[in-house]
């Protein structure tokens, strides 16, 4: 029996995390925030002062990472037993994550960690390559996007709510740069899967997006 998977891919700030968490809760399915795995690697690499340009050293850090996830209302991530959740959302962490995520060897090491989240009764997986690589056989695939301006504003609001200092212009520029890097890399670039449902959330409320995604699961 195959375990059902719903994938939600798309650029930064499109609302993937909020939508995926809400849909997973409604369906009673597990949730994978794959970006948090790359963000955890970024933190580990920074803490160990590893040269970001050294693919094999970064890959070794990925191999040694011991991650534990607890998903209640908020996602709690422990790296080698230490709660790093508060450090995950910053744009600095995201920028380093997108650099280490471009290494094919890193992606290979982290592939199984992500596949292991596929547990009954089902999984909602959010990221960049969920529908194209990690769960290419997923039952339902969504590519969720929004205009760069809208995504910048959403990310800015999110960071402010978490008490993280942010500047709107800088955040928008940083996510555009990160999206370019994610879309242009050779391995597992950010592109919609051929069979993905394309959803532009620029003019939709979060509840409207959640409802549209839920509708797909009952079709
Ligand atoms: O989704 P989030 O913004 O947390 O992801 C941080 C970075 O991790 C992305 O910019 C991307 O470079 C990388 N990532 C990835 N593949 C995924 C999820 C995230 O390359 N499936």
* C-alpha of residue 212 to centroid of ligand 1, in Å: 24
Distance 35 CA to ligand 1 centre (A): 4
Q: Region 84-113: what's the mean pLDDT?
A: 95
Q: Whose CA is nearest to atom 1 of ligand 1?
A: 35
What confidence score (pLDDT) does residue 87 get?
95
* Mean pLDDT across 145-150: 93
Nearest CA to ligand 1 atom 2: 35
Whole-number pLDDT of residue 139: 92
Q: Is the pLDDT assigned to residue 76 strictly greater than 80?
A: yes
Dihedral sign from CA coordinates of 103, 41, 36, 72: positive
What lines the ligand 1 site, CB under 6 Å?
Answer: 12, 34-35, 38-39, 94, 97-98, 101, 127-130, 178, 182
Note the pLDDT of residue 127. 98
Pocket test for ligand 1, best of 101, 108, 174 (most atoms within 8 A of CB): 101
Q: How far is 75 from 4, CA to CA, in rounded Å?
A: 22
The span from the CA of 124 to the CA of 141, in Å, is 10
**Residue owning the nearest CA to atom 12 of ligand 1:** 98
Asked if residue 170 has pLDDT above 70, the reply is yes
Per the structure, how many domains does the chain have?
1
Q: How much is the pLDDT for 71?
A: 75
- pLDDT bin (cut points 50, 70, 90) of residue 219 is low
Q: For residue 87, what is the domain's CATH number?
A: 3.40.50.300
User: Are 216 and 48 spatial neighbours (Cβ–Cβ below 8 Å)?
Assistant: no
Domain that holds residue 110: 5-217
Q: Would you say how long the chain is, in residues?
A: 219
Nearest atom (ligand 1) to Cα of 101: 20
State the chain's mean pLDDT as an integer.
94
């Amino acid at each position: 029996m195959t375990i059902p998977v719903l994938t939600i891919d798309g650029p930064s700030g499109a609302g993937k995390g909020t939508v995926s968490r809400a849909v997973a809760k409604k369906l009673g399915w597990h949730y994978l925030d794959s970006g948090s795995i790359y963000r955890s690697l970024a933190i580990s690499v920074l803490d160990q002062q590893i040269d970001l340009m050294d693919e094999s050293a970064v890959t070794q850090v990925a191999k040694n990472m011991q991650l534990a996830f607890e998903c209640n209302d908020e996602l709690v991530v422990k790296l080698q037993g230490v709660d790093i959740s508060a450090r995950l959302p910053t744009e600095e962490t995201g920028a380093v994550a997108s650099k280490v995520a471009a290494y094919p060897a890193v992606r290979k090491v982290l592939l199984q960690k992500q596949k292991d989240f596929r547990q009954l009764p089902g999984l909602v997986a959010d990221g960049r390559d969920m529908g194209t690589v990690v769960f290419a056989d997923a039952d339902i695939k969504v590519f969720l996007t929004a205009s760069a301006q809208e995504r910048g504003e959403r990310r800015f609001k999110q960071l402010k709510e978490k008490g993280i200092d942010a500047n709107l212009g800088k955040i928008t520029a940083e996510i555009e740069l990160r999206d370019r890097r994610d879309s242009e890399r050779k391995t597992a670039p950010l592109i919609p899967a051929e069979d993905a449902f394309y959803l532009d959330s620029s003019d939709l409320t979060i509840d409207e997006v959640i409802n549209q995604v839920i509708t797909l699961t009952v079709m």
